[in-house]
């Protein structure tokens, strides 16, 4: 039997990178994928390519009505909501000295507040479905500090503990809704493309990032998507409030 047989999954950031790779796996494993993203052109094109088991909805994760509309469109299109992937995010380099208040708010709004709104908006529909699984994408930089990516690291640390609070609340309320966080190392997606081109000394940007991982390379979006697939499926029904690391040994 396919691993997500009949499950309906809403994916923020579903137009690109890790979200797009997960949408492909969801459909390949018998599920329905609702790709939600602010990049309408890319999201619609991928949903069309995936066929009748996929659908696109526009989403700006910092707007609560936008989330509510995305959840409503999901249940209207496919009849229920069983899974939520919060993958929309932005990465920026800054330090505590050069980050402006506006930039700190922007990064934390998209990465952290956007994840809060996703969880809050999805729980009602998951309760109606008899349960569900929420997967929040944090980062290895949500497990430890990074002086050069201060606002990003702070926003991803917030995602890590938000996840635990959602998990504990849903467990206490006996909703049969689980919530876990995924912590990727550097993954070769459009998000880090600018970094790959910033050469440092005698190393290319790509080489300097590859070298951070004991496995000696960047991760692929599909490798993170397979971990997310496990968490969305019934194979992980005893896991909630936990951190799942996918980093080529970076934090080992
Ligand atoms: N690529 C990495 O190295 C890496 C490492 C650790 C964690 N992550 C996290 O993984 C997640 C996915 O990133 P990716 O690498 O696939 O990047 P990506 O840039 O390929 O995809 C991110 C998607 O989020 C969407 N998005 C951004 N802001 C949005 C908003 N306000 N509303 C709706 N959609 C919005 C973008 O349009 C894009 O489609 C992010 O949360 C990122 O922080 C990435």
Ligand 1 centre to CA of 222 (Å) is: 14
Atom of ligand 1 nearest to the CA of 190: 20
Q: How confident is the model at residue 201 (pLDDT cuts 50, 70, 90)?
A: confident
The answer to whether residue 95 sits within a structural domain is: yes
151 with 99: CB under 8 angstroms?
yes
- Give the residue-averaged pLDDT of 83-94: 98
**86 located within any domain:** yes
Domain that holds residue 180: 8-190+221-246
Query: Residue 75 falls within a domain, yes or no?
Result: yes
Residue of 88, 138, 160 best suited for mutating to test ligand 1, as the one with most atoms within 8 Å of CB:
88
Does 235 reside within a domain? yes
Query: Which of 167, 184, 176, 228 shows the shortest CA–CA distance to 4?
Result: 228
Mean pLDDT of 195-221: 94
Please return the burial class of 122, using the count of CB atoms within 10 Å of its CB with bins 0-12, 13-18 and 19+.
buried
Length of the chain equals: 252
Cα 85 to middle of ligand 1, angstroms = 11
**Cα gap 226→218, rounded to integer Å:** 16
User: Does the C-beta of 110 come closer than 6 Å to ligand 1?
Assistant: yes
Q: Report phi then psi at 29, rounded to 5.
A: -100, 25
**Total domains in the fold of the chain:** 1
Residue 163's φ and ψ, nearest 5 degrees, are: -55, -45
Following CA atoms 49, 244, 232, 69 in sequence, which dihedral angle do they give, to the nearest 10 degrees? Answer: -70
With a pLDDT cut of 70, the percent of the chain lying above it is: 100
- Residue 216 belongs to a domain: no
Mean pLDDT of the 221-240 span: 98
Q: Which two structure tokens, joined as six digits, stand for 187?
A: 């993954």
The pTM (predicted TM-score) of the whole model is 0.99
Residue 182's pLDDT is: 99
pLDDT by residue (tens digit) across 51-87? Answer: 999 999 999 999 999 999 999 999 999 999 999 999 9
pLDDT tens per residue, range 117-131? 999 999 999 999 999
DSSP 113: I
> HSE-up of 195 (CA within 13 Å, CB side)?
18
| Any atom of ligand 1 within 6 Å of the Cβ of 248 | no
The CATH number given to whatever domain includes residue 60 is 3.40.50.720
Which residue stretches of the chain are H helix?
17-28, 40-50, 64-78, 101-108, 114-128, 150-172, 193-196, 205-210, 221-232
């Amino acid at each position: 039997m396919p691993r997500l047989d009949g499950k309906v999954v809403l994916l923020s950031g579903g137009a690109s990178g890790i979200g797009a790779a997960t949408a492909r796996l969801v459909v390949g494993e018998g599920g329905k994928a609702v790709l939600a993203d602010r990049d309408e052109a890319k999201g619609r094109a991928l949903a069309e390519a995936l066929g009748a088991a996929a659908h696109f909805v526009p989403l700006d994760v910092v707007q609560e009505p936008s989330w509510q509309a995305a959840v409503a469109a999901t249940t209207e299109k496919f009849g229920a909501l069983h899974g939520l992937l919060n993958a929309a995010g932005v990465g920026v380099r800054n330090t505590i000295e050069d980050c402006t208040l506006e930039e700190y708010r922007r990064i934390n709004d998209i990465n952290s507040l956007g994840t809060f709104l996703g969880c809050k908006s999805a729980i009602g529909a998951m309760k109606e479905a008899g349960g569900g699984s929420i997967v929040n994408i944090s980062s290895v930089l949500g497990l430890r500090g990074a002086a050069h990516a201060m606002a990003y690291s702070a926003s991803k640390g917030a995602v890590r503990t938000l996840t635990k609070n959602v998990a504990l609340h849903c467990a206490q309320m006996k909703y049969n809704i689980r919530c876990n966080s995924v912590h990727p190392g550097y993954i070769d997606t459009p998000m880090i493309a600018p970094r790959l081109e910033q050469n440092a000394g005698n190393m290319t940007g790509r080489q300097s990032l590859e070298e951070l991982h004991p496995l000696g390379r960047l991760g692929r979006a599909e490798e993170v998507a397979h971990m997310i697939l496990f968490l969305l499926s019934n194979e992980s029904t005893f896991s909630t409030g936990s951190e799942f690391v996918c980093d080529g040994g970076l934090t080992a």
